[in-house]
Structure 1
Amino acid sequence: KQGLTTDAIKQYDLYLAKFEDDADIAFKQADYLGWSRFAYRREDAIKYYRMGLAVREDDERRHKLGQLLSRDRKQLDEALAEYRHLLKSKPDNAEWRAEYRKLLLWDEKNLDEAIAEYRRLSQQKKGDFETDRTLASLLARKDPKSPEALKLYADLVKRKPGDEELRREYSDLLSGDTAHRAQAIEEFRKLVAKDPRPETRYKLAKLLAEDRSHLDEAIGEYRKLLEAQPDNAQWRAEYRKLLLWDESHTGEAIKEQRKVVAENPKDLDAKRTLALLLARQDPNSEEARSLVSELLKSRPNDTALRQEYADLLSGDAAHRDEAIEEYRTLVEKDPRPETRHKLARLLAGDPARADEAVEQYRTLVASDSAHPEWLDEYRALLLSNDRYRGEAIKEYRRLTAERPGDLEAKHTLAMLLAADDPHNREALSLYADVVKRQPADNTVRLEYADLLSGDKSRRNDAIEQYRALVKSDPKPQTRYKLARLLAADRSQVDEALEHYRILIQTQASSKEEYDQWRTGYRQALLFDEKNTKEAISEYRRYAAEKPGDFEVHHTLAQLLARDDPRSGEAVSLYKGLVEARPDDHQLRLEYVHVLSADPKRRIDAIQEYRVLVKQQPTPEMREALADLLAAQPDGRSEARQQYEAILRDRPADTGVRLKYAQLLASQRETTPEAVKEYEAVLRDDPKNGDAHAGLARGYAALHQRNKALHEANLAVANGAKEKEIAALRKDLMRGEEPNFQVFARGMVQRGKTKSQLDGAQAGLGGRVDSGTGVTLKGEAGGEDYWRSSHDAAGAFGSFDTDFHIDAENDFGIGAGYHTIGDRSVTGRLEYKYLGEHMRFGLGADRMLRYDSYVALVGDSIHGRDIGSARENRLHILIGYEGDRATFNFVPYGGAVDAKGVMANPFGGARAEWRYRIYDGERLQVSPILAGEAYHYRFNAFGVDLGPDGIYQAREPRPGGYFSPQFFGSGETGLAINGRLGENAFLELEGGPSLQFVKEQGLDHDIAAGGQGKLQFVYFLQPSVHWSFGAEVRSFGSAYTRALAATSIGFEF
């Protein structure tokens, strides 16, 4: 009250020294000392606050204590402790917490607590910029790479994009993390764009310099910095270092380095750097070499400098020898692997020093510090010269053992082994493995295919590889290799030709290559006869290109002869070739073969053979001449002489004897001699099927049927050609009657009412050969014919005798009798001449007529007999039988006698031509052309008397048989003879006809008719056969007759 505050404070000090438990006085004294105008005793104030608080809790005085403590950073921890005490009692006191948060910012050790407080505040004051900024800075202080801090800063910058200080903080933060370097660079770019301070630009330049991809931009920023502060030594030093990083800035780096050298000529390191830069710009730089050489004078023992000098020298081929010497010196003084490697590499570049290079590489790869690339270079060096192939193989074997999956190493080892031995199995196995694992590598597959193609046993594998190559990458060279391999196998020539055809349509790289393809194509065409026409076309073209080439024209001639043995062009070519080489025996033989293939030139062929036989009468020549002569009717005598001459020299030659026998058998008068020759062949060769067949034909010609049939069976059993023996067996066993047979025959005839007739026969038959001159035949049985209510049954029998006068002349006579009808005596009288090709016959026949029931059996009307027509005929046969064609012309005439009418004369003729268009071993096909015409004096096809019950004079007269005043027929047809299996024969024959019929008066009829025939024979056993035959024939509108017969025959 009196204003004596200072005195009061002293009195309080004295009081409190004695009474420390007086909290009120302690707090009052602290308030004076800490907060009044006497607040110069802060430490005493702190003491008194603590004294009072020790006695009594007072939040206001504790708050003041905390404030006093916070004024000194040294007492920060005590201040924080007081605030924590306060906030523990009153956690929601905003003033205290705000002061507490600020205190937490002062020391790094309180960062976690500060972050926690500001996170809480940020949640309370959502969107408060300052709070979020403080939190972001705290997070950045704790961890400069904090994603949360970066995220907060990014948000703050977005909220205040114009706050440059904030953006700098953000950019600094980003620059501290390489992961966000790009973003930091972008932020600094923005800062520099707005405020290009050198300090900011420097930070951007530093950031850019840390990333080589921004090197050019960094250099650009440093240039701008140096433009602003050219004397800044730090920036220029950093700028020069940057220039060294990329060769694109070498020129600028050299300029800068020249400045350094100019500023300090004694700076040897600067000169060294300049030399390195000059060498980088130009490896052959003389200035660089001069600088290093000069430096070496000052530093003769500087190994690294000498190394650089050697490196400089090695870049120029002109200084290579000098470089090698420098490297040798270095290796001797300090044999480091890197230096030795440089020496080895230089030596390897000179083939003359290859051995020394190999030695150096051996030392390198043997060291513990060998680099993989050195091993690769060593292997490449070994591969460069065949002298090191053995060592290369060992090295690559070791490599493949270490790295089983290294396909390139396996490939190289395979190539080395194959170069040493193209048939090396290990090489093939390695190639197979590489191709299997790298199927798309056509280069390796091609090498593998080439290797396989050299081994005949692996040719098919090579073909498969080439096929795969052509499919994936159809290069002409690969296709040619495939075609050439395929052509070596006759079974794959077709595929080879397909590839050759593609090749010759392809553009070749050179004429030589195209000629090579064409040659392969021509050769492949020769392998298979089905390509003959294409080969001819190709060789015609080739012959036009090479008009004087003997071999080309010879091949063309051979091809023409192969395509058409009768080719006139082939003959002409061969004639010219023979004239060019008259002494070429084989060529003349080919010419003769071509001539002999054409019947028109056979005479010329014979003449040529005669010359050959005269020059060289060898059995082969004689045989060829005889074969040709045997085909000429006027040459058989000479052929016989040639065959006999051969057999005198070689009596055991069954082949020639067989031909000789066939020649003798071709003429009937010498058939007995032919039989003897066939028997001689069989004595030497009992299983000769052709001899058995010939003997069978000979016996058949001599009418020794049983022997003929026996030999025919032996011929088939011993492999005789079926088509040659089948006809003979049929003739012997079904064309002629067997020794004994049981037969049944049937007939159905329809047409006009009067011609309707049905009938059947059954009986037994037999045949006996009496020596070679006589054959006796006979048959007997019963028969029955009917028409509506008429029926006639009876018996029949016949007997025939054939006299074989000689091999060409036969005479036959026979008689028979039927009990049905009247005058039913039948008979025949016949003479035949059977020449080699010509046939002639003359004969007379009496036979029954089956045109109607009346004609066959007869009838009685009003006590008068009519019908029972019997035909009496004379005929002449004129025929020709060639290799394929047959022709028969038969004129005939006679009369038919029947009860109730007078004898009815008739006359006519039939002609028939056949030509075998197909003659296979089991099938023969022949078209037929035939014509027939005949005339009767009157029509006797009546079956009744006139109305007056007497013989009628008007036509038709009651004879019952078909007897038109004129009948003409033109026929076409087809005959098919075939063998089914080993035991069956089938004949089919027939065709339509156009018929003209004039029965009486002026009326006539044109109608379609025709005939058909079937004959089937099956051998149940060699001496037992069953046969079935059927025949249908139509006579205009008069009637159609169908016949059928079956039998079982036995041979004894």
Structure 2
Amino acid sequence: MKFCSLALLSLTLLFATGLDQRAGAEDFTESWYLSRGRSNMEIDNYKAAIEAFEKVVERNPDHREALRSLGLAYERQGLKDKSIETFDRYLAKYDDDPEIAFKQAQALEWSRYSYREKDLLKYYRMGLKRKDDPAMRLKYASHLAGRKETAQEAIAQYDKILASQPRNAQAHQGLAKAYAWLGQNDLALYHANLGRQAVKREPGDMTALRHDMLKGREPAVEGVFSVLAQPTTPFELYGVRIGSRGKMDFSPFTTTTLEAGAEHFWDSSENRTGGYLSFGNQLRINPANRFDLLLEYHDAPRGDGLAYKFEYVYEGPSVLIRPGVKREFRYDSFAALIGSRSSGQLVGLARSTQFYTDVGFDLGSTRIEVTPFVGWVTAESLSTNNQVGLTVKTTTPLWETDNWNVSGEYLFYLTHYEENQSGFTPSPVEPRAGGYFSPQVFLNQIPRLAATYTFDEKQDITFAAGPALQYIDEATQASVFRVGGDAHVAYTTHLSKPWLLKVMGDYTQIASVYSRIQGNALLVYTFY
């Protein structure tokens, strides 16, 4: 029994010794090939290095150094496909090597590997996760910026670069392209301009992008001419205005307009002449949000000559919301606009202040715009006249061809004044004229047809017209329904590339109360 045990122990010792000797031999062989591979890499004998590293990988497919070195040897020998294949295997197991990850990403930038764009992006992300390399981040971001679906991710990468390198021209240029993909033209133009400032010569594609972003926003100068005729007494008013308007973007986020000129107004007994100045500015926060401001001063009136408008605008894909406040002149009569002294005492000078919210949305193919408002009207020698109202406009497409675009429109206006201050009805307390049309209830409904005809790319004509069914409650006489009308026409022609002419005409009939005819002409020169 002892003999058997001793024999078994001896056999076990002999087997274990054999295994150790075999493992030691394999370790020696692997080390020898690794050493040979390293030596050949140092003397640029890449063919011999490849043979050595291949031997190691045959014996141990997961050997980190051998896989890495084999990929480098293939690359330096010019065996691109084998190098990429080897690095794919290496990075699948060892994703903590930013140097090889970046190298693999750049190798996949070759046009012959364009089908592997997702892998390219994956390797850039892998490298950046371990090492913040601005040059590699810039390359990664440039690939992301090339497509709309990855533009937002590109913006995040460019922002990281600019946090440490605020004057990096390539980052600004890349941001311009990414924002252009997303339709954020203001930010695209802003970064295109910063990129232009940081280089001596702007790349051609960036020049083209800036021109695209400026379309419709080019600086322009306009000649303005307007006429007004309202012959019906006692709402009689005639006027003519001539001026000049300039428009310019002083930054990618603002558009500023400035208009100045002279105007003359009269009726059968009085007239006034004066100058006017108008300043407008639009501040765009982003494509969906902006602020609009308009300030005007006119010195033809015998007193208060200030008007303004301030709006916040949200314009989403399917809804528009525009709350605001405005102060306007009332053009209902000479007295309302200018102020009259025909009776010795100054009367009129009616000024309307309104708080409102425009809401626009689509209901199927119909566009609906609803505007509730509340405010007041002030006039000389009269108490403040409160008002509240609602306007609604619906537009439904009816017919469209290459030249014609026809739609049906319905306009609804409802206004309630606290009291009638027209002042043209005989009264024991005359004069009390505000001179503006202010029945306690005024309802105006206008169904009309609107059409645009395009002659060619250079000229078109637009017109809209329809009857008006009006309800007027003047408190001093029976409430009745009356018939009026509304018409609008506009003609636009491009005389040449920088020159544009636009002529517009409007006609409004308020029952038998008054009719108004307005004409406007704009001659525009655009600086391309």
Q: TM-score, with normalisation over the residues of structure 2?
A: 0.60
Structure 1 segments unaligned to the other structure (5+ residues): 1-643, 652-656, 681-693, 716-727
- Deviations for 1:699-752, whole angstroms, at most 9, x for unmatched residues? 379788x99xx989999xxxxxxxxxxxx97xx37xxx962111100111133x
- 1:660: how far off? 6.0
Quote how far apart the aligned CAs of 1:775 are.
1.7
Q: Deviations over 1:308-367 (max 9, x none)?
A: xxxxxxxxxxxxxxxxxxxxxxxxxxxxxxxxxxxxxxxxxxxxxxxxxxxxxxxxxxxx
- The equivalent of 2:264 in structure 1 is 784
Q: In the TM superposition, what is the alpha-carbon distance from 1:658 to its structure 2 partner? A: 12
Which of 969, 976, 999 aligns to 2:444? It is 969
User: Match of 1:867?
Assistant: 348
Q: Distance in 1 between matches of 2:209 and 2:490?
A: 21
Indicate whether 1:844 and 2:325 are aligned.
Answer: yes
Partner of 2:399: 918
Partner of 1:699: 185
Partner SS, residue 347 of structure 2: strand
Shift of 1:1039: 1.1
Q: Which of the residues 908, 925, 934 maps onto 2:389?
A: 908
Which position in structure 2 is the counterpart of 1:893? Answer: 374
Shift of 1:695: 7.5
Distance 1:870 1:929, change over 3 A: same
Quote the Cα distance in structure 2 between the aligned partners of 1:876 and 1:742. 32
1:801 corresponds, among 278, 281, 290, to 281
Does the aligned pair in 2 maintain the 1:743–1:1048 contact within 8 Å?
Answer: yes
Q: Distance in 2 between matches of 1:1025 and 1:882?
A: 35
Q: 2:361 aligns with which of 858, 877, 880?
A: 880
Corresponding position of 1:811 = 291
Q: C-alpha distance in 1, partners of 2:151/2:515?
A: 47
Give the aligned partner of residue 485 of structure 2: 1010
Distance in 2 (CA, whole Å) between partners of 1:882 and 1:645 is: 43
Question: Using the alignment, how far apart are the partners of 1:985 and 1:646 within structure 2?
Answer: 50
Q: How does 1:685-764 map to 2 (within 5 A)?
A: 699=185, 732=216, 739-751=220-232, 753-764=233-244
Instruction: Note closer, same or farther for the CA distance 1:924–1:697 as it changes in structure 2 (3 Å cut).
Output: farther
Structure 1 contact 884–916 (Cα < 8 Å) conserved: yes
Of the candidates 497, 502, 509, which is equivalent to residue 1034 of structure 1?
Answer: 509
What CA distance in whole angstroms lies between the structure 1 residues aligned with 2:487 and 2:209?
30
Deviation at 1:880, TM superposition (A): 1.0
| Aligned equivalents of 1:756, 1:843: Cα separation in 2 | 31
| 2:471 is the alignment partner of 1:996 | yes
The 1:1000/1:802 distance shift into structure 2, 3 A limit, reads same
Secondary structure of 1:860's counterpart equals coil
- The alpha carbon displacement at 1:696 in A equals 12
Aligned to 1:32: none
CA change 1:862–1:1010 in 2 (3 A) is: closer
Q: What amino acid sits opposite 1:770 in the alignment?
A: F
Closer, same or farther: CA 979–790 of 1 in aligned 2, 3 Å: same
Counterparts of 1:1051 and 1:768, CA distance in 2: 10
1:789 Cα offset (Å): 3.0
2:440 equivalent to 1:960:
no
1: CA distance, partners of 2:484 / 2:210? 41
Please list the CA deviations of residues 867-899 of structure 1 after superposition, one character each: whole Å capped at 9, or x if unmatched.
011111111111114784311100011111111
Q: Give the corresponding residue for 1:256.
A: none
- Taking the aligned partners of 2:343 and 2:480, their CA distance within structure 1 comes to 33
Matches within 5 A, 1:655-666: 661=148
Q: Distance in 2 between matches of 1:646 and 1:1009?
A: 69
Residue 1043 (structure 1) aligned with residue 518 (structure 2) = yes
- Structure 1 segment 294-333 matched on structure 2, within 5 A: none
The CA deviation at 1:782 is: 0.3
Percentage of matched positions with identical amino acids: 23
CA 1:764/1:711 → structure 2, altered by over 3 Å: closer, same or farther?
farther
Which residue identity is paired with 2:442?
Answer: F
**How big is the shift at 1:1048?**
1.0
Letter aligned with residue 744 of structure 1 = F
The change in CA–CA distance for 1:770 and 1:648 in structure 2 (over 3 A counts) is farther
Q: Is contact 1:880–1:886 with CA below 8 Å preserved after alignment? A: yes
> Is this contact kept in 1: 2:145–2:174, CA < 8 A?
no
Letter in 1 for 2:185: Y
Summarize the Cα distance change of 1:788–1:951 in structure 2 as closer, same or farther, 3 Å threshold: closer
The separation in 2 between residues aligned to 1:830 and 1:836, in whole angstroms, is 19
d(CA) in 2 for partners of 1:745 and 1:835? 34
The answer on whether the counterparts of 1:741 and 1:1047 sit within 8 Å (CA) in structure 2 is yes
Which letter maps to 1:971?
I
Q: Deviations over 1:78-108 (max 9, x none)?
A: xxxxxxxxxxxxxxxxxxxxxxxxxxxxxxx
Paired positions, count:
360
Conservation of the 8 A alpha-carbon contact between 1:922 and 1:979: yes
In 2, the alpha carbon distance for the partners of 1:798 and 1:1043 equals 20
Partner in structure 1 of residue 247 of structure 2: 767
Which structure 2 residues correspond to residues 471-870 of structure 1 after superposition, within 5 A? Answer: 648=118, 661=148, 699=185, 732=216, 739-751=220-232, 753-821=233-301, 822-870=303-351
Task: Describe the shift of the 1:890–1:1002 C-alpha distance in structure 2 as closer, same or farther (beyond 3 A).
Answer: same
Q: Deviations over 1:266-297 (max 9, x none)?
A: xxxxxxxxxxxxxxxxxxxxxxxxxxxxxxxx
Residues 861 and 945 in structure 1, CA contact (< 8 A), matched pair in contact too: no
Deviation digits for residues 800-853 of structure 1, max 9, x if unmatched?
222112221111233211112211111112111111111111111111111011
Any conservation in 1 of the 2:145–2:177 contact (CA below 8 Å)? no
CA distance in 2, matches of 1:960, 1:910: 23
> Hey, what does 1:205 align to over in structure 2?
none
Contact kept? 1:738, 1:1049, Cα under 8 Å: no
- Alpha-carbon separation, structure 2, partners of 1:971 and 1:933: 12
1:658, 1:977 → 2: CA distance?
39
Alpha-carbon distance in structure 1 between the residues aligned to 2:149 and 2:244 = 38
Q: 1:951 Cα deviation (Å)?
A: 5.0
Residues in 2 aligned to 1:885 and 1:769: alpha-carbon distance in whole angstroms: 34
Query: Does the CA contact (< 8 Å) of 1:867 and 1:943 recur in 2?
Result: no
User: Which residue in 1 is equivalent to 2:421?
Assistant: 940
For the structure 1 residues 864 and 981, does the alpha-carbon distance in structure 2 shift closer, same or farther, using more than 3 Å as the test? Answer: same
Please give the residue correspondences for 1:422-437 in structure 2 after superposition, counting only pairs within 5 Å.
none
C-alpha displacement of 1:770:
2.2
Paired residues of 1:997 and 1:1036 also in contact (CA < 8 A): no
When residues 851 and 663 of structure 1 are mapped into structure 2, their CA distance, relative to the original with a 3 A threshold, is: farther
Could you tell me which amino acid in structure 1 is paired with residue 236 of structure 2? Q
Would you say the 8 A contact 1:837–1:882 is kept in 2?
no
Q: CA RMSD in A?
A: 4.0
Which structure carries more strand by proportion?
A: 2
User: Which whole-Å deviations, capped at 9, do the CAs of 1:508-561 have from their partners, x for residues lacking one?
Assistant: xxxxxxxxxxxxxxxxxxxxxxxxxxxxxxxxxxxxxxxxxxxxxxxxxxxxxx
Tell me if structure 2 keeps the 8 A contact 1:755–1:852.
yes
State whether residues 148 and 182 of structure 2, in contact with CA within 8 Å, keep that contact through their aligned partners in structure 1.
Answer: no
- Displacement of 1:919 in angstroms is 4.0
Maintained 8 Å contact 1:861/1:944: no
SS in 2 for 1:836: coil
Q: How high is the TM-score relative to the length of structure 1?
A: 0.31
Q: Distance in 2 between matches of 1:658 and 1:1001?
A: 69
Asked if structure 2 preserves the Cα contact closer than 8 Å seen for 1:798 and 1:815, the reply is yes
Q: Which residue of 1 aligns with 2:33?
A: none
Following the alignment from structure 2 to structure 1, what is the Cα–Cα distance between the partners of residues 499 and 368? Answer: 33
User: How far does the alpha carbon of each residue in 1:736-781 deviate from its partner, in whole angstroms, 9 at most, with x for none?
Assistant: x962111100111133x11121111000101121222222111010
Instruction: Name the SS for the 2:231 alignment partner.
Output: strand
